[in-house]
Structure 1
């Protein structure tokens, strides 16, 4: 079981967003946060381009690999590969409601098959056993699917999977609708019921329970810590990434920040060595800067920052000087006090 403090703050796995470039940026903002990969199907891990699918920079640790799938043997093989690749946790997706995921019989529809999830977790745990470095197997789930509104059924799902060797659950605290709602609507329409996650933690204190879903600001995130082991942020972390820095400074004492907020510009400039190394490898600047666009969200000059990067990063030869130009323009909108905030 990981150190409880390492579970306090995490960034959700998000398709097309939480790639390695994104995670390196988030690590600079929040050195104590637990980061998650995009979901990767077990078959892709086994048969696909691992250099691309499992790309990870050493600075990202602790970082989890999220797997999709529903065949225990394949999930076990993929989990072992992920652990040997260096991931610190293997997470099974039991929450994604997309049509493509449902067609493959994985994601949120697994909430209706607790025995299959338990078999999968047991196989994954066994596959990761005996490694020199312990790698926990965890589950990210919903409260239920469609019109499942029975807390006892939810708890029975958790108990069944926990008995198979899972001690950490990330609970997206709303149902998933398998028909009639898009993935975006599934993140917004079904009502949030954080009280189910709170109750689960009270009734199963030996489990680590993290809450996810609809957490929009620092006050909301902090309030969850009174009831659960941690808060996982999704779109708020991506669209307003400075929030991660605020939470890391507020929740974790000691280095590297020692309780002092860094300015957005200072944090971003710390990314320069990574960006220049990636450019030398042939990575286009746009693949990195697309994750930076929200850094000045809500700040004067934030729109100018986004505009400079969005319009220039795709051009041939775009390099770090474009980022400096965006920063200089943005900082010109603010006085010295604002630049330090």
Structure 2
């Protein structure tokens, strides 16, 4: 795959790309995952895993900013709650060419809470406003927010408008809203992705109340059909998480045509073949095959041969000497799919 752009994408291009985005997901959306997703969709906006500002600024872990030029448009998600530290981290992200810097105000994990960032910041909109103002001052890259509708006993109908007003007054005009509360005590991060009820209508009301803001919706969206429905309802963008990771072809292969009006045609088989040179370069540089193929296991989900594809890769990709030939062997078990074959369990 040739690079979409070797340089940072323009503001208008990133706004356009945000019609559909793949959510930042810890341990999942690393640069290998994003490279695969960019092959599947040339248009969708991609996000890094959350990178903490202290890790960059205090720990000097600049390798966490590594990405492939082909990933543009790609956004860096930061976690933190200290305005000056976030400003420094924003400068670091901008200097290496990220197209957007996103502040995490949605993660409910204990580890994140202990650092006073993530969803717990829904309780401190004034602090969030200070953070994003400092971030915006630090570079000319757009600063955005990903948040929840509220946490714990908060009333979302009251909390969310207040949060949007205070943080947009600090300069943020683009928000992604996970349409669930986060329960910081009593639910695990995994349970927080499923148990609190979704409230899409509230997010739609926020868009109607604040038409000048670019509002994307996240949470429980598992198909392009639903994504199109939400866009047609007036939302500016849709962010998809687990479905895009576990069934990437289902979400991303048709995205360029259905969401962006393009004409590009690609199949999951095409994507595997386009990944092979990238895999070769990774292996030549001392990398391991499973570091890439773990993100490819769901490419053929629900299609004939999918089990064999997963089995060959999951059982063998960690073995010494595993390389491109193993990927080609796994692919040989999967029938070419052009959209007409019936899907199987």
TM-score w.r.t. length of structure 1: 0.93
- 2:32 pairs with one of 21, 32, 35: 21
- 1:244 pairs with one of 245, 248, 252: 252
- 2:91 pairs with one of 70, 80, 87: 80
Is contact 1:253–1:259 with CA below 8 Å preserved after alignment? no
Q: Distance in 2 between matches of 1:104 and 1:337?
A: 50
What is residue 226 of structure 2 aligned with on the other side? 220
Q: How does 1:181-192 map to 2 (within 5 A)?
A: 181-192=187-198
Q: 1:335 Cα shift? A: 9.9
Check if 1:233 corresponds to 2:240: yes
Structure 1: gaps (5+ residues): 129-133
Is contact 2:253–2:268 with CA below 8 Å preserved after alignment? no
Q: 1:253 to 1:99 in 2, by over 3 A?
A: same
Q: 1:337 Cα shift? A: 5.5
Q: Distance in 2 between matches of 1:172 and 1:47?
A: 30
What is residue 6 of structure 2 aligned with on the other side? none
What is residue 124 of structure 1 aligned with on the other side? 135
Deviates more, 1:267-276 or 1:23-32: 267-276
Q: 1:253 Cα shift? A: 3.0
Q: Distance in 1 between matches of 2:208 and 2:261?
A: 27
Q: How does 1:95-110 map to 2 (within 5 A)?
A: 95-110=106-121
What is the aligned residue count? 329
Is contact 2:56–2:62 with CA below 8 Å preserved after alignment? no
Q: Distance in 2 between matches of 1:77 and 1:305?
A: 44
Q: 1:264 Cα shift? A: 1.3
Tell me the secondary structure at the aligned position of residue 187 of structure 2.
Answer: coil
Q: 1:52 Cα shift? A: 2.6
- 1:59 pairs with one of 56, 70, 81: 70
What is residue 271 of structure 2 aligned with on the other side? 267
Q: Distance in 2 between matches of 1:330 and 1:286?
A: 19
Q: Distance in 2 between matches of 1:37 and 1:166?
A: 20
What is residue 23 of structure 2 aligned with on the other side? 12
Is contact 2:152–2:182 with CA below 8 Å preserved after alignment? yes
Q: Distance in 1 between matches of 2:74 and 2:138?
A: 19
Check if 1:70 corresponds to 2:74: no
Q: Distance in 1 between matches of 2:338 and 2:332?
A: 12
Check if 1:92 corresponds to 2:103: yes
Q: What do you get for the CA RMSD once the two structures are aligned?
A: 1.7
TM-score w.r.t. length of structure 2: 0.92
Q: 1:104 Cα shift? A: 1.0
Q: Distance in 2 between matches of 1:251 and 1:229?
A: 11
